[in-house]
Chains A and B, each alone.
Chain A
Amino acid sequence: MSEKIHLTIDHKTIVAKEGANLLQVAEDNGIRIPHLCYHRKLSPTGACRLCIVKIKDQRGMIASCGITVKDGMEVTTSDDELEEARKYLLDYLLAEHNEEYDGAYEDEFRELCRRYGLDKKENRTFPSIWKEMNYPKDESSPVLTYDAAKCIRCFRCIKGCDEVQGKNVLSFTSRGISSYIVGGFDKWGESECDGCGECIQLCPTGAIVEKPHREELRLDEKTTKVQTTCPYCGVGCQLELVVQNGRILRSNGVEGVSPNDGRLCVKGRFGCDYVQHPERLTKPLIKKDGQFVEASWDEALDLVAAKFAEIKEKYGRKALAGYASAKATNEDNYLFMKFVRTVFENNNIDYCTRLCHASTVTAMLRSLGDGAGSNSIEDYAESDCILVTGNNMIETHPVTATYVKYAAQRKGGKIIIIDPKWTPLVDHAHIWLQPKLGTDVALLNGMIHVIIKENRIDRDFIEKRVEGGMESFEALKELTEKYTPEKTEEITGVKASLIAEAARIYAGARQPLIATGMGFSQQVTGTHNVFSLINMMLITGQIGRKGAGLNPPRGQNNVQGVSDVGASPFTYPGYIPVDDKENRRKVAEIWGIPFEKLDGEKGLSTVEIMQAAYEGQVKGMYVMGENPMLTDPNLNHTLEAVKKLDFLVVQDIFHTETTPYADVILPATAFAEKEGTFVNSDRRVLRVRKAVAPPGEARQDWHIVAEIARRMGTPIGDYPNEAAIWDEIAQTAPIFGGISYDRLEKQGIQWPCPEKSHPGTTTLFTEKFNTKNGLAKLHPVDYAEQSEKADNQYPFILNTGRILYQYHSSTMSRRNKALTDFANEAYLLIHPDDVQKLGLSEEQKVHITSRRGTISSVIRSSREVLPGELFMPFHYAEAPVNKLTSDELDPFSKIAPFKLSAVKIEPAH
């Protein structure tokens, strides 16, 4: 299909790819053929007929959207007859159209009518008939309005929902001139529509328009549009913020740019209102006599500097610690990291990754040498086998999931899911393996057993690319010998035949991708879970080429970047171990400080910091944009720890569950108020741009950090702007060496990108692994029973996780009406058999108690969980599920087992 052919369009000679679409070829060559129903991302429809052309030796007028270019084709896009026909067609559309325009949407149809002079009524042929049709208006959705009288029935919304988002919620009802679009069976608001707004983005008229800010936005008045990166999950979607009068009134997906190519989810499109929420922190606050009082920046910063200095003086440099923020930029975090290392003079810096993918990263670093995803997000669309382990990606990485669904729906790819809980992706899956909570290692070993027994291994790969070759393979073989499908079924509860089938599909796939999530990582055995996954991948040779590998989709906008820039107790920027003297020496030189100042000893990790605070070893803490009082495990214990601190600084954009315990609260800026960069799940460095001014006296995080350092007498550098900070990052972290802001203007670059001329890396490990000897390493691991077990007193196992409409501790998400309209209530999922056994009823309020605490919630009966297992979202402060979770840590990665707590349920009276 890559053959080049020549054709002429309006006498202009054009070179095109064989098999290309004529309308697209014209468009790509700057020849504008009018059209409304065609869109680059969608299959051609042929509905509007406006793209008619004439082709030499073919009869009549032909819709170019349905034509495949051929060599020698001679195309005419415009003559009197074609133009007259187009005018007729637009005139027809106008007849059935309500032309009122409120200025709150872009209207391609209106523009075309103007071009053809049809905005003047005297130029029209047809009578207006739309009023007689009694077209309905659907206002039932929380986020959009559909007005059939403004609909030109172009199919773009229907196809966008189906072909792009893989949701298939929209369709036509009725027939002919009476036809219009419906969500589900009738009402948008009662359908499965999840509010992603792809339909809005693709609608060429005002038929489907956002509800929020519709009264406010007037596109004919002064507006600015700013391209930036979404502040929610780690897909890194490119947003276009539409700003008017200093307020963000719209968020659109940016078309034609990776990774999202215009796609967004409900959070990206409707979740930016929190930025301008009245509850934003606007002034520094100092706690005086138990009450927060407003203070000047000078007063607050001097106090913070003095207190930190005092603690360091009194208790030594290890008594201070900092939490960096996955929500802040690389530049913010880099300076925060530099602050902890050079001002605190220790390595007690960590952030939420420790509670997230720490185990995945640990296992990947040890086995493969890099902890980041090995492939590109778009690769999912072409994959023939996608193994999704403990990852509810439709809700947590919705845009990545569109590519995964695309592979399954349109390319015959097979999705295999390993998850104890049903997720929406199960509806698209070929196989769903539903193991009991905490039995993943056994399940993977069972699959490996089948692969070895049936000789589906890649011997060549093992010999050439795995340390120890077939010898180390033998060790794995021996260990997995006992995991026969039958034995594995006994442990995991998954049918032996399904285990074998899944193993065969994975091993035999051409381009298999693994997407592993919190379900795998947030366990005491998290690192082992991922080791076993990697073992299976290595013996089948399913990594190291385009479209094959292991990818942990990251949960937050910049969780990848914060690790990359070195906000870690173990590694410096670019994943260079803290104890690497050579690197410390190099960094000290860049930073212009004595090498001895840099602590060569590993620091404390997230949960360890809290534990040390509890033990009285950490006395002062600097929390930048984190909310440990909702997100750390074993909250009751965390509370005790936080209370024991001498001094706590929280820097955030809102009051959180953590701010009440702070001594000083510093108001920071939100993503739309700053310049900088994020790194997404496929290692893409993406620009963040300022769209609006910060509220009140709020300041950018890195400014605050630098100012505290200066006031402590240990300045961390003078930076004119974020680009200058980035350049220093690129200097310290070799993976970013070739990246600078000017290269990021249009789109992101995937690291490693060591030099200016390097294009970035779409696929990792194609030549060698990033380990010392360049070889991958097998880590045979045995299944071990969980120490946290259900017993007579705590008979249920509780799983926790996220939902589509909320994000992390919901500080941001819950301050968007559109999102809370969809979901705003905590619940406990419980299997109907258990509901019956306990004599409970739907929506009944219960107390849920673990060995560590009690919370209350209403129950929802659901077959999404197995009998004996429960599920709760962790977003809601009124039902803080982390009061129940344990802080027993995975010994390798220090991750906490959020996915597994033994609990009991009692009716609340």
Chain B
Amino acid sequence: MIQETRIVLKNAGKIDPENIDDYLKAGGYEGLRKALSMRPVEVIDELLEAGLRGRGGAGFSTGMKQRFTSESCLRCPQRYVVVNADEGEPGTFKDRVIMEQDPHLYLEGTIIAAWAIQATKGYIYLRGEYTDSIKKTKKAIEDAYERGYLGKNIMGSDFSFDVEIRLGAGSYLCGEELTMLESLEGKRGTPRIKPPFPAEKGLFSMPTLVNNVETLANAPLILSKGKAWYQGIGTKRSHGTKIFTISGQVNKPGHYELPMGVTLEDLIGLAGGMRGGRPFKAALLGGAAGTFVDSSMLKERMTYDNLKEKGATLGSGAVIIMAAEDSVEQILHNCLRFFRHESCGKCVPCRTGTTILVKRSEQLLSGHSDRKTLVQQMLRESEMMAATSLCPLGQSPILPLKSAARYFLEH
């Protein structure tokens, strides 16, 4: 039986999240101290070489993203760090755990990122429903200002950085980085045309780094303990840990931090096994914008690359477990309804496509006579949506649909 490897969650449940002294006693702000003793470019190199990848779901190299942002538009008078704390992927609550139980950790990571790209202003775009995360983050910011970790001349250096919280208002799509920037600018939450990427032209048209909470929470640890330490965790190609949030038919649903490369079987074991000993049927990995897998995937290592090779996704680390009695069609239907509900309506294929997919899914649930043709039709439509939609939302339905079809619907 494997055990958790808590590095990001090392303080979670052990310290008072509203007491900065507790955090400092646990080695807090040492990563920042280290970072400020380095040149910004060295900080970026350290993160790059450590192999830290975006924990929001896309798995893009954090160091590369920071490099692009720091090197773009050198004439621009301002650059920004935006923390994506608008956690909204169904089944995902990893950032919430960090924000509620150790808010200084990701705040420290934010300040390090700001130093790395030489930003003087940051925004934490925080999911509005996360009242406790908001409260803890606010307190952490106040205390960080008081102790000189934020504001002018941070830790006696020449570096100054301010950060503010902005609350999301319930839109899933505002968790998409370009839509988030629109929302931060006070506009309606609809996606922008990409390119330009945020690194070139982000918030208020300035170079902007958008990083996920869990990603940023890794940075202080890498800085204080070094890239070699970090590379030692996980697999050869995927370093560090991932916080998985497992729900559904398991005995102990919740969050578990594990090294990259853990298997689904081990994760279920850690979560107390299948509820009431029910037989495993399927897992939905990565939330609504994720993929269904069947028992053939139980022993596969869960890393970004390995899952991708097998046609699955790691995504945000959400794992929803289904037992024999559960209907994959029903869960798929929930996913499709979710997309219809969250589609902003800006681009045609997503706006109408998500609505029509739900209609087709209803037919599927009510026992359509030509099931195979119907499934083929849905796949074709979702492919067309993926090929033509403006933002990732319209490109997502194909993920659960195609995987469900592959393992379940076509049999």
Contact = CB atoms under 8 A, between A and B. Distances in A.
A197 interface: no
A174 B354 CA distance: 16
Given A47-B390, A92-B353, A177 B343 contact: yes
B341 A48 contact: no
Contact of B348 (A93, A129, A175, A178): A93
A63 B387 contact: no
B384 A46 contact: no
Interface string B169-185: 00100000000000000
B388 interface: yes
Interface in B91-124: none
B347 A49 contact: yes
Contacts of A61: 387-388
Nearest to A94: B352
B359 A92 contact: no
Interface in A45-90: 45-49, 52, 60-61, 63, 65-66, 85, 88-89
Contact of A44 (B193, B349, B389): B193
A210 interface: no
Contact of B345 (A46, A95, A153): A153
B340 interface: yes
Contact of B356 (A127, A171, A176): A127
A129 B343 contact: no
A49 B345 contact: no
A96 interface: yes
A47 B384 CA distance: 15
Q: Chain B: interface secondary structure?
A: helix
B347 A46 contact: yes
A174 B381 CA distance: 25
B341 A129 contact: no
Contact of A176 (B194, B345, B389, B390): B345
Interface string B323-351: 00000000000000000111111111101
B188 interface: yes
How many of chain B's residues touch chain A, expressed as a range?
A: 20 to 34
Contacts of A175: 171, 341-345
Nearest to A155: B346
B388 A177 contact: no
B343 A47 contact: no
Contact of B388 (A85, A95, A153, A155): A85
B388 A89 contact: yes
Contact of B340 (A46, A96, A127, A177): A177
Interface string B356-398: 1001000000000000000000000100100111100000000
Contact of B347 (A47, A60, A172): A47
B384 A88 contact: yes
A518 to B, nearest CB: 37
Point out which of B171, B193, B352, B354 has the most chain A C-beta atoms below 10 A from its C-beta.
Answer: B352
Point out which of A44, A61, A95, A155 has the most chain B C-beta atoms below 10 A from its C-beta.
Answer: A95
A85 B355 contact: no
Contact of B188 (A49, A66, A172): A172
A47 B388 contact: no
A176 B359 contact: no
B352 A93 contact: yes
A46 B340 CA distance: 19
B387 A85 contact: yes
Given A172-B188, A176-B355, A63 B390 contact: yes
A172 B389 CA distance: 19
Nearest to B171: A175
A96 B352 contact: yes
Nearest to B194: A66
B263 to A, nearest CB: 32
Contacts of A85: 384, 387-388
Contacts of A171: 188
B349 A49 contact: yes
Contacts of A129: 352, 355-356, 359
A44 B390 CA distance: 12
B348 A47 contact: yes
Nearest to A180: B345
A793 interface: no
Contacts of A92: 348-349, 351-353, 356
B351 A176 contact: yes
Contacts of A153: 345-346, 351
Interface of A: 44-49, 52, 60-61, 63, 65-66, 85, 88-89, 92-93, 95-96, 126-127, 129, 152-153, 155, 171-172, 174-179
28 contacts: A48-B347, A48-B348, A49-B347, A49-B388, A52-B388, A60-B387, A63-B193, A63-B390, A65-B193, A66-B194, A66-B195, A85-B387, A89-B349, A92-B351, A96-B352, A96-B355, A126-B352, A126-B356, A127-B356, A129-B359, A153-B345, A153-B346, A155-B346, A176-B343, A176-B354, A177-B340, A177-B351, A177-B355
